[in-house]
Structure 1
Amino acid sequence: MRTISPGVLVKKEVAESVKRKLIEANALNSELRPKAVNDYVIFPIKEESVEFVKRMGLKVVYEEFEYRHKVKTYKEIVDVPDHLRKYLPTSYDQIGDIVLIKIPNELREYARNIGEAILKTYKSVKSVYWDLGVKGLYRVRKLIHLAGERRTETIHREYGMRFKVDISKVYVSPRLAEEHKKFSEYVSEGDVVFDMFSGYGPFSIFAARKGAFVYATDINPYAIHYLYESARLNKVQDNVLAFVSDCRKISQSLKADHVVMNFPHHSIDFLEHALKTIRDRGIIHMYV
């Protein structure tokens, strides 16, 4: 793990004496490793000691230094005042190589510092976004870019399955991965599945992978687009037929062994349509 920090550039023959002076002045940044460049040594110093060190007549430069120990969490390196560290988020969602994190009000002005610290700490992360919650008809997250690449499309993985998603256009929660897998355990080859609120298609793709044929609907056209993208990625495109549609418009024309209702807080409102679709001894999987 590396970071940019101020440092003192000195010739090797005087390096030890300068180091002692920096330690005495409590200016040396002991968390970072000094580095050698040709006939010089660069000692990392604390940001708040820069002006003091300049008054000592030493040359200050900004360089990339390695940390002495492996950083395990972004909290170890994030730049926020000590009295606010207790508010640092302990969890976040990683979708592919993108992190979504909720920032408490107490840390709003340090949001970008948090994003940069996450980016530096975890090699698998390429972008960090501030998650402001789910908004609008399509239930997608409102996002603010904090650090890294300015893109919202990525490949999300669950139990060996790959999903192409755009987190600004479809709702994705890696916390539901276990539910997607658990649902597929009820599905057998040859079953018919009706995914009433498919989103980007995790329930649909898991079922199709088991050999079921899936009808999927969602009113969000981006969701159906990414469902088909993921069906191709997982080589189940022949087992999926998806519609940009209100599920109620086609429920009466289908008969299914499994009906998936993943529309939190509203699934119950559509139960009568699921009952018209389900076959005898079929299963309705309702998430409320």
Structure 2
Amino acid sequence: MRCPAEAMWRILPRIFSLQLNKNSVKSLYQYRRLYITALQPDRASTFPVSVLKKMPDPQQHSGIETNLYTPPPEVSGMTILDREAFTQTVVVPALRVPKEVLNKLVKSLKKVTLQRPGMRRVLEVEGCDDKLLLLDPVSISSTSSFSDAESEALQSFGVPLELQQYELQLTYDNLKSEEVLRAVLPEGQDVTSGFSRVGHIAHMNLREHQLPYKQLIGQVIMDKNPGVTCVVNKTNTIDSTYRNFKMEVMAGEENMVAKVRENAVTYEFDFSRVYWNPRLSTEHERVVALLKRGDTVLDVFAGVGPFAIPAARRGSTVLANDLNPESYRWLNHNCKLNKVERKVTTFNLDGRAFIRSAVKQELPALLKGTASVHVVMNLPALALEFLDAFRGLLDQELSCDENLPLVHCYGFSNKDDPQRDVVERASASLGFSLEGQCSVHLVRNVSPNKEMMCVSFTIPKEVLFNSESKQTENIEEPALKRQKCEEKTD
């Protein structure tokens, strides 16, 4: 393609001046850009001045405001959602890119391109084949904002390093939930947009200052998360007896029966009447991975089956118990749903009663076998206290040095040393020190001052077979030094 003579004559003086200053990388890049402009003058901007303008020079750092969305003042304090009120025009940086290099360039600039819900980042340029690539103003405020790799990519593809401003209309649909809620809630107050998803239900824990906006918050969560048709807020702490909590519907349908899939297993349950925590998926998988075909699992607080059913699918024989009648009902339902009802025997008993009846009855035969026996006690608010049920559980000592049950017991701790705390509490319940005879796994951080831990240990013969009066002689005072238990973390 031949360039017009007049265009060449206009840029030759500038090329000559750049030739005198090759020490500057930016000048050399401008030198290349001038040749491109001379050879393809049709790339000059054809956008109306009101829509597309030159960006500031790299040396000028006034740039674009770092926040993409500054909400209209009238949305502050809104309690009934008005989606139209969030519409606003903002200015974002843009690059004019030849069509033939667009796809490759987008890959090189993926970290700085505009990423907005429901919004195209590549626009047509009227009258030519070039495209306009919209950039994130938080990342790019001037040409000097590009990294070395990004600048080299622009240079290699022959794209002029010349930012333009594009006036973009942002609507409610293009905003993230955090942006909407930050605009509505009073300035300086915490914005909660996080939630636990249980099937079609989004479960939130709102703070007191957010309660006046709960209906709006619920609607925003539904709008921004496809598949969520119900948003609930927990209204009190978990009941330690049945492990459920009261909740109120903030938005959407009042259907509490959820269907979820975790680790290739399907569960159904009434979320308002049983305990389910989607954050424990990794822990369920970790413990089940320890099992081998033919093992036996004694699940003391089974809930709706997140340990019991995967264990049965892995080839283990399972005895699963839960005190909550609703959990017991859904546990049986889920066993049938996953076709493992023949591998799982279910009970609706208190945890101690389950240990002192069903477990006591099954253990003598299991201890004579070669397959491993695992006891799962996932009631972190109280499970450590239930360990005392194993004291003197069996009346007569058997020859079972190789096959004593392995316990996985969960507990919360708000102590500075949560590992030591759970080991000391487990030791106190057993009446036998577990120092040096257990491992401790950090399951998750529940809150800034609360950890969920799992202490795993083989039940000592001295606990399982001795009478309680004899066991008390083996109780050791908790050591002042750090426990020597192996600590494992995620």
Taking structure 2 as the reference length, what is the TM-score of the superposition?
0.44
- SS of alignment partner, residue 83 of structure 1: coil
Aligned partner (choices 233, 236, 239) of residue 337 of structure 2:
233
Of the structure 1 ranges 254-263 and 138-147, higher mean CA displacement relative to structure 2 is found in 254-263
Query: Are 1:134 and 2:238 matched, yes or no?
Result: yes
Deviation at 1:5, TM superposition (A): 4.7
Aligned partner (choices 190, 199, 223) of residue 294 of structure 2:
190
Query: Are 1:287 and 2:404 matched, yes or no?
Result: no
From the CA coordinates, give the structure whose radius of gyration is larger.
Answer: 2
Deviation at 1:245, TM superposition (A): 1.0
Aligned partner (choices 252, 267, 280) of residue 360 of structure 2:
252
- SS of alignment partner, residue 248 of structure 1: helix
1:157-207, CA deviations, whole angstroms, 9 ceiling, x for partnerless residues? Answer: 211111111111101100111110001011111111110111111111111
Equivalences for residues 1-288 of structure 1 within 5 A: 5=83, 29-30=87-88, 68=171, 71=174, 73-78=176-181, 81-84=184-187, 86-132=189-235, 133-135=237-239, 137-249=241-353, 250=357, 251-255=359-363, 257-274=373-390, 276=393, 280-288=403-411
Partner Cα distance (1:73, 1:181) in 2: 32
* Change in CA separation of 1:139 and 1:30 when aligned onto 2, cut-off 3 Å: same
CA contact (8 A) 2:86 2:172 kept: no
Partner Cα distance (1:92, 1:170) in 2: 18
* Change in CA separation of 1:213 and 1:91 when aligned onto 2, cut-off 3 Å: same
CA contact (8 A) 2:288 2:310 kept: yes
CA contact (8 A) 2:296 2:317 kept: yes
The residue type equivalent to 1:285 in the other structure is H
State the number of aligned residues.
Answer: 233
Of the structure 1 ranges 142-151 and 266-275, higher mean CA displacement relative to structure 2 is found in 266-275
1:181-237, CA deviations, whole angstroms, 9 ceiling, x for partnerless residues? Answer: 001011111111110111111111111111111101111111011111111222211
* Change in CA separation of 1:114 and 1:69 when aligned onto 2, cut-off 3 Å: closer
Partner Cα distance (1:97, 1:87) in 2: 26
Partner Cα distance (1:143, 1:193) in 2: 33
1:35-58, CA deviations, whole angstroms, 9 ceiling, x for partnerless residues? Answer: xxxxxxxxxxxxxxxxxxxxxxxx
CA contact (8 A) 2:380 2:410 kept: yes
Deviation at 1:72, TM superposition (A): 6.5
CA contact (8 A) 2:377 2:408 kept: yes
CA contact (8 A) 1:96 1:154 kept: yes
Return 5+ residue gaps in structure 2 as ranges. Answer: 1-80, 90-117, 119-168, 367-372, 395-399, 412-490
CA contact (8 A) 1:95 1:156 kept: yes
What corresponds to 1:57 in structure 2?
none
Over 6 Å off, 4+ runs: none
- SS of alignment partner, residue 208 of structure 1: helix
- SS of alignment partner, residue 291 of structure 2: coil
Partner Cα distance (1:89, 1:210) in 2: 39
Partner Cα distance (1:253, 1:247) in 2: 15
Partner Cα distance (2:86, 2:218) in 1: 26
If asked which structure has higher relative contact order (CA below 8 Å, sep 6+), I would say: 1
Deviation at 1:73, TM superposition (A): 3.5
What corresponds to 2:471 in structure 1?
none
* Change in CA separation of 1:84 and 1:138 when aligned onto 2, cut-off 3 Å: farther
* Change in CA separation of 1:28 and 1:244 when aligned onto 2, cut-off 3 Å: closer
Partner Cα distance (1:74, 1:285) in 2: 39
CA contact (8 A) 1:198 1:217 kept: yes
- SS of alignment partner, residue 270 of structure 1: helix
